[in-house]
Structure 1
Amino acid sequence: MAESPLGGTGCSMHEPYALQVLGDEMEPEFPDRCIVIVEPADTCMHRSYVFAEVEGVRWFRQYLKDDSGDQRLVALNPRYPEIELRGLEWSVLGVIIQRNIRRQVKHYDRKDDRRP
């Protein structure tokens, strides 16, 4: 039986789950201590907010893919460096589909591939 990114097995690994954001890396869109809902997935679209694992470390970042095919994970707070994915072992664990800040909910469309 397959294991979920958070350690569970079985059908539950295909269900959305909640995580609390810790830190300011994804501010202002995702402030410290807000709650995000993650839909388990192994793929994502340009500009998706993702929960990903890179070289054994898990990150909450925005996934970007440019016209040349280069891929990176970016913190929304410019104080934090980008993670260039070329040559690294990495995988998407899930895509953020909802944010909750003090009961104010915002939804994110997984299929939204808008370019900047």
Structure 2
Amino acid sequence: MDATRPSAIVSIPVVSELAGSCTGAEPFALMVLGDSMLPEFEEGDVVVIEPGGVAGDGSFVLAFHNDEWIFRQLVRSAARWLLRPLNPSYAEQEIADLEPVRGVIIQKSKPGRRRAMKRYV
């Protein structure tokens, strides 16, 4: 990978499934369940998602894929996109385009620990 060339950046449209809910285009928070995103995201961490955020190679995203909601890292590999878990025990999933991506993680925090916050944008 050429370090001087910027990664592809794609704007994510707000889809009707989210637009019709109470979240709309406003950021919302979810709690991480499971261990697929260890070591960066532990079970119980709270992530803030921007539904209309800009996703690019390396972004952490919320996606609706194969009839389930998943939290993964978006990775560009040649001419394809992958939803990659950070935990190598889980398989990455190829997506044809960015339509399954419904939001970008912009912040992480640990409940009850104000100083344990990390921003991703």
Q: Give the TM-score taking structure 1 as reference length.
A: 0.78
Match of 1:32 among 43, 50, 58: 43
Q: 2:118 aligns with which of 100, 106, 113?
A: 106
In 1, the alpha carbon distance for the partners of 2:119 and 2:21 equals 25
User: Amino acid of the residue matched to residue 57 of structure 1?
Assistant: E
Q: Indicate which of 2, 9, 21 corresponds to 1:8.
A: 21
- Distance across 2 between alignment mates of 1:76 and 1:65: 15
* Structure 1 segments of 4+ aligned residues over 2 angstroms from their partners: none
| Unpaired runs of at least 5, structure 2 | 1-15
Post-superposition shift, 1:55? 2.9
1:81 maps to 91
Q: Which amino acid aligns with 2:48?
A: I
The percentage of aligned residue pairs carrying the same residue is 39
For residues 94 and 49 of structure 1, the distance between their equivalents in structure 2, rounded to whole angstroms, comes to 9
Matches of 1:41 and 1:79 in 2, distance apart? Answer: 30
Give the aligned length. 103
Q: What residue number does 2:101 align with?
A: 92
- Listed as ranges, the gaps of 5+ residues in structure 1 are 110-116
Alignment of 1:61 onto 2:72? yes
Change (3 A) 1:43 1:92: farther
